Amino acid sequence: MDRITSMRVFVRAATDGSLSAAARHLGMSPAMATKHANALEARLGVKLFHRTTRRLALTEAGSDYLDACLRILPEIDEAEAAATSQRIKATGLLRMNVPLSFGRCFVAPLMPAFSRRYPEVTVELGLSDAELDLIAGSWDLAIRIGRLADSPLQVRRLGDSPMRVCASPAYLDERGVPRHVTELVQHNCLGYTLSGTQGREHWAFGTQGEVHVPISGNLMANNGDALLAAAVRGQGIIYQPEFIVGEAVARGDLVALELDRPLVDLGGIHVLYPPDRRPPAKVRVMVNYLVEAFAANPV
């Protein structure tokens, strides 16, 4: 028998003077109320009631247990109400793990409007290019860029993440403009160490990454912004997402190269959150807000 329900039956029976009255109050049959009372006494190993045909009387153990139940059950009700309110109303701390460059450029600027819309939600942004475990790290949700491994997490797509191969005009004037991916072996290619497709030893081309081209260079980094800064100053060629290089290309600080092979398809930008059939309101509203924001202003 459910222990909490049994405690509620006991309190009502003690208050109303009979198990049948407790059953009416709690919306169950008298037989079920009796089963709960018997199960409770069996679990505790003591008699809680002196039972007569007309009325119940508490034993000494029953009186002590009633005091404890009257203290415990309101705390349980309060805890349940607080948990339920979080599913209904957006409130509390929301921990969101986001790639560093993407979070700085595209997620952080969205937070002021989110906070005005949901003032009772406090957002903690965890900016990191390392792919941290959502559940183990107690994150409420995460943004991931690229192809997703199979997992039980819930997923909503935020948009595409096209790639660019870029270099500064000064670098290209000095070293020449590669037209074929095989020519990259002759250039200083700046590798992104956290990627299997734009890494330190080879770059992948073709929409599925089926063409591997060996590369080498005198700088590698685990952050796209660091590689961007080096490329803008003429150090070499980078292979990075549009959201990192787009502004530099628009300003003319970098030139997007046109090569003879398609660039790899990263697989898009996604928001992930734990597999809860009814996620807390703070998670629902943030996911919907991000979907809405990126639909209105694609990356």
For residues 144 and 275, membership in a common domain is answered with yes
Q: What is the DSSP letter of 108?
A: G
For residues 247 and 272, membership in a common domain is answered with no
Residue 120 — very low, low, confident or very high, per pLDDT cuts 50/70/90?
very high
Summarize pLDDT for 186-244 with one digit per residue, the tens: 999 999 998 888 888 999 999 888 999 999 999 999 999 999 999 999 999 999 999 99
CATH code for the domain of 133: 3.40.190.10
| End-to-end C-alpha distance for the chain, whole angstroms | 54
Cα gap 248→254, rounded to integer Å: 6
For residues 172 and 239, membership in a common domain is answered with yes
Domain end call among 38, 54, 86: 86
For residues 172 and 142, membership in a common domain is answered with no
For residues 8 and 128, membership in a common domain is answered with no
- Is there a domain that residue 120 lies in? yes
Between residues 81 and 291, which one has the greater pLDDT? Answer: 291
pLDDT at res. 176: 96
The predicted model gives 141-157 an average pLDDT of 89
Residue indicated by tokens 């590798």: 191
Summarize pLDDT for 37-86 with one digit per residue, the tens: 999 999 999 999 887 767 788 999 999 999 999 889 888 877 777 666 55
* Domain of residue 151, residue span: 92-160+267-296
Q: Residue 32: pLDDT above 90?
A: yes
DSSP string, 133-195: -TTTTT-SEEEEESPPPP-S-EEEEEE---EEEEE-HHHHHHH----SGGGGGGSBB-EETT-
85's tokens? 């309110």
The predicted model gives 249-272 an average pLDDT of 94
For residues 99 and 130, membership in a common domain is answered with yes
Q: Please give the model's pTM, rounded to 2 decimal places.
A: 0.66
Inter-axis angle of helices 19-26 and 30-44, to 10 degrees? 110
Q: How many separate domains does the chain show? A: 3
pLDDT at res. 87: 64
- Is there a domain that residue 285 lies in? yes
